[in-house]
Amino acid sequence: MSVNDGVIQSLRQIAGDSYVLTDREDLYVYGFEHFFKQKQYPRLDVVVRVNSNQMADEILELAQKSGIQVFRRSEGKNSLLQATSKAVVLIDDVAPPQLETLLKAKEENPKTAELEQEMHRAGLGAFRSYALALSTFLSRMPIQKCLGCHVCSGYCTVSPFHNNIETWSSKGRTILTRALSDRELQPSSKLIDVLYSCSLCGFCFAECFDDGTQIRKAIMDARHRVVQLDKTPELFKATAKTIFETGDPGGTPSSKRVAWADQLPQRGVFPKRAPVLYWAGCVASTRTPHTAKAVGSVLNRAHVGFTYLGEKEGCCGYVLLAAGLWDEARENALKVQKRVEQTGVETLITTCAGCYYTFTKMYPEILGVRLPCKVSHATQYVERLIREKNVVAHDLDWRVTYHDPCSLGRHSNVYNSPRSVLKALPKLSLIEMSLSRNRSRCCGAGGGLWSFDNTVALNCAFERLIKDVVPLGVSTLVTACPTCHINLRNASVRKSLGIKVYDVMEIVESAMS
């Protein structure tokens, strides 16, 4: 039985249009409380997201007058399993999980790091099908804890900016990936929007599982299925075309992306052969050229012989992989592999966290492609230079905090190198945020979200700044990812926070000047 239009209108007057949900995707997601169990509710006709008990009481009163059966999600009674002949409304009155609660969870679970290491040793870093990934993941957890929990939701970076509606949460996307895989739902425009609204930060179920890796990969796999069904969002089709035409997702001509190199003593002229190849990457070359120039300056001052591909560099293809365009990504990766191989270098270094993650993890795990050299993030390489006393820095009396990029931190397990570099600079004071390392709040720019929904990406960055940086009383934020750099910088400027954002390599360059 369906709810008539008059009741729907009354519900909208109580809760607001965007909080009354009737789309098939919403009703499907809300049918589950635990995403790894069977549906808990009977067929739902409407879901209403409420923010107060007063709203819930008004809906209950309306239901009583209209002969509608209502369930409150917070109650979780066994009667929910019973069939009904009435129209059914579910009141979503459950408060979303807050990231700050993870601090307490971390204190109460000292074995978190041990569990994460065990998962990596077991090979859970490799891409698997959704079902295998999820079942393997859950088999390693205390299942009684899961079954005893009333609501399985998971922290989500972006869901607060979608009214905390479950469909747009990590749990909602997880359920939709299964529905798409099992063909219970078709790739509608809404389902696609939900899948691509994820930043792929991998922090979905940190409170419960201490690692959201498999959920992130399940979403990526679902995006690939969307591509296979010829439902790729036009934005990413255009991006792929631009990458193959110009070597840059944003379409910046190759002649302009190398302008930063003219500021070096080499004046843009690099040797064909050298032990090190500097891979600047698209974003640093065009959006944060000061970072690209800083890397070149540091290498020069440390007397490191290096080369640079210049206009032939191209794109690593991260956005193609994140968008599910894996065939195009493999074609691009093979071209990159050939270009790097022709240089004969021993080491490739990059200051881009996305490029590093793509080369070291995504290429071999998804595409079966490996670069013919060692790949290091710039902070790892400079950490070694500092250890070997090839970097001489003067006092830098700054108070800074460091933001862990998801691609470098959670996805690649590189936490110490950026910190070691900063701590090695005389008089620089590094003040850690309460949410850092594997519990670092995502800036919102990853996974293609920066392009797909820039407003939400910026809102995520603002939340990172206002909740984690501002309370520290520092005016300088340092990161090791040009995409994080831009998103956090833009959020600071637009909200007039006065927080300056730099790359680690810019700080090192300043200390060596």
Domain boundaries, the chain: 5-92, 101-228, 234-384, 393-512
Instruction: Kindly report the pTM of this predicted structure.
Output: 0.88
What is residue 138's predicted lDDT score, i.e. its pLDDT? 43
Count CA within 13 A, CB hemisphere, residue 108. Answer: 8
For the chain, the maximum distance between any two Cα atoms, rounded to a whole number of angstroms, is 81
pLDDT-wise least confident of 165-174, 345-354, 503-512: 165-174
Please tell me the distance from the alpha carbon of residue 201 to that of residue 187, in angstroms, as a whole number: 23
Is the confidence at residue 161, as pLDDT, over 90? yes
What is residue 128's predicted lDDT score, i.e. its pLDDT? 30
Please tell me the distance from the alpha carbon of residue 199 to that of residue 157, in angstroms, as a whole number: 8
Could you tell me the fold of the domain covering 5-92? 3.30.43
Thinking of the domain 234-384, which architecture would CATH place it in?
3-Layer(aba) Sandwich (3.40)
pLDDT above 70 coverage of the chain, percent: 83
Amino acid symbol at 130: Y
Segment 136-150 mean pLDDT:
45
pLDDT band at 348 (very low <50, low <70, confident <90, very high): very high
Q: DSSP for 265-304?
A: TTTT---S--SEEEE--HHHHHT-HHHHHHHHHHHHHTT-
Integer angstrom CA distances of residue 210 from 117, 323, 438: 11, 25, 9
User: Mean pLDDT across the chain, nearest whole number?
Assistant: 86
Strands 276-279 and 306-307: parallel
The pLDDT tens digits of the residues spanning 258-306 come to: 999 999 998 888 998 999 999 999 999 999 999 999 999 999 999 999 9
Closest among 383, 389, 382, 333 to 358, alpha carbons compared? 333
**Pairwise pLDDT comparison (334 vs 38), residue with the higher score:** 334
What is residue 49's predicted lDDT score, i.e. its pLDDT? 95
pLDDT-wise least confident of 222-226, 365-369, 437-441: 437-441
Report whether 314 contacts 332 (CB < 8 A).
yes
pLDDT band at 103 (very low <50, low <70, confident <90, very high): low
Instruction: Give domain 393-512's CATH number out of 3.40.50.620, 3.40.50.920, 3.40.50.11810, 3.40.50.200.
Output: 3.40.50.11810
pLDDT band at 38 (very low <50, low <70, confident <90, very high): low
Is the confidence at residue 134, as pLDDT, over 50? no
- Judge if 234-384 and 393-512 fold alike in CATH terms: yes
Sequence-separated (6 or more) residues with CB below 8 Å from residue 234 = none
The pLDDT tens digits of the residues spanning 62-97 come to: 988 888 888 888 876 544 455 566 788 999 998 877
